[in-house]
Amino acid sequence: MKRKKYFIIAILIAVLMTVIQSMIANMSIRKKEQTVYVAAEEIHKGTVMEPYMTEEIRIYSDVKIDCPDLSDIAGRIALKDLPKNSILKERDFISEEASEDVRFLSVNVDISNFNAGNLRTQDIVDLFIIPDLKKTEEFQLKWLIQLLDACNISYIPGVHGGIMIENITIDHISSPSGQGRQNVSIRVKKPLDEVISFLQHTASLEFIRK
């Protein structure tokens, strides 16, 4: 009789342990559960977002995804092409007001002395520029310093080694076949587009990944 009682108790303990383990596992899964929005259809760069273009899903991930709320997505502009079912992220969109100041330009760099292998589309990077003062006329230098002042970037020729432009978004990277160079499309606010467009032909440029 005692054996039977112990056997029943052992079974009850085993069942209880299984239930507890299952509850712990479910709690762990719930902690990793996230609500995200995905593209309900293919979205093209420049599209003004509407609620019907998105679909809410729940995923399980150890990494927190910077997915905005639906209210934050609606009315914003897509900064790149988004395939159907791709997770929508904060950095994929910009407000219509901010988009008026955004410019896209391509910087052509030599692959042999460039860390492009470490860069990816949508990376946020810094750009360090060393102007060649011998190739820069005095009036051009004054114009350049005025534009930099407007961007709250300090540069004093002969004092500062170069110009540091922070928080630039890599929009696209391409490598023309057989040219040994790489085109890096970047997203900046004006008038930084003028600064970089001018300097890339007379200065040394280096992207610094954060």
CA-wise closest residue to 94 among 103, 83, 107? 103
CA distances from 75 to 46, 47, 52, 55 (A): 11, 9, 12, 16
Q: Name the CATH topology of 32-97.
A: Type Iii Antifreeze Protein Isoform Hplc 12 (3.90.1210)
* Span 87-100, pLDDT tens digits: 888 778 877 666 66
State which residues of the chain have pLDDT below 50: 29
Report the pLDDT value the prediction gives residue 46, as an integer from 0 to 100: 79
pTM (2 decimals)? 0.56
3-class SS at 152? Answer: coil
CA-based angle 42:170:118, to the nearest 5?
115
Cα–Cα distance, 169 to 21 (Å, whole number): 45
Domain boundaries, the chain: 32-97, 101-209
Report the pLDDT value the prediction gives residue 1, as an integer from 0 to 100: 54
The three-state (H, E, C) secondary structure of 75-140, written as one string: CCEECCCECCCCECCHHHEECHHHHCCEEEEEEEEEHHHCCHHHCCCCCEEEEEEEECHHHCCHHH
Cα–Cα distance, 7 to 202 (Å, whole number): 86
Report the pLDDT value the prediction gives residue 7, as an integer from 0 to 100: 58
